[in-house]
Amino acid sequence: MISRVEEIFYAAYRELRPRAPYPECTIEFVPFANINNTIRLKDRKIFIRLSDLLEGAPEDVLLAIAHILFAKIYHKPVEARHATRYRRYLGRQDVSAKAHLLRQERGRKVLLSAQGAHYDLEQIFEELNLRFFHGLLARPLMTWSRQASRQNLGHYDPAHNTIVVSRIFDRPKVPRHAVEYLVYHEMLHLKHPVKLNGSRRCVHSKAFQEEEKLFPELEQAKLALKTL
Ligand SMILES: [Zn+2]
């Protein structure tokens, strides 16, 4: 039995390659964290994975996706009407709201682990909260980064209310005050939201910098981070 989706993909293929034989095609809906569609050609078989968010999409949207994916593996130009149709659908308010929700829920499951092999970020947050903020900061989601990055040591993501610290510091040879300093810095971002100063984004305001100096082991911590 051929499903509706398979029929649509067959139609898109015919449009793009009227005379070529239709290859064996596996299509599945996958719970990706993002709206994401992939196509792979292997041993003359085609494997297509579609975001499950698109399972109930209108036929012309699925046709547009099919066209875009086939155009990609057969190196054909993507027709503007298909590109536009798909983009419009993604831009629909209900669709983008659902995508945002999925990103948060699914992204979180893979991402979140405050408890590292060596340091527990939630525990560090709570200690710093008492020491420096009278326990008044609401704890955001805390997590070690998935990759051990040297470029991005830490950041606060306001969209997901999450503090991420590079996993590279979750090691016994890293002094505790260095990890504490990274978390403290991000907590200051929580406390001092980014302000527009004229047209310039002021990320580390004067007040931010003054408050950062209150961290007692500031210099040792910065040095430790530099030499790791
Ligand atoms: Zn910063």
For residue 11, name the pLDDT band (cuts at 50, 70, 90): very high
| pLDDT for position 111 | 57
Centre of ligand 1 to C-alpha 204, Å, is 6
In this prediction, residue 39 carries a pLDDT of 93
What is the pLDDT at residue 157? Answer: 84
Taking the centre of ligand 1 as the mean of its atom positions, its distance from the CA of residue 70, in whole angstroms, is 43
Whether the pLDDT of residue 166 is over 90: the answer is: yes
Gap between the terminal Cα atoms of the chain: 60
pLDDT in tens, 76-105: 999 999 999 999 999 998 888 888 877 777
Cα of 180 to ligand 1 centre, how many Å? 14
* 149 pLDDT tier (thresholds 50, 70, 90): confident
pLDDT of residue 107: 63
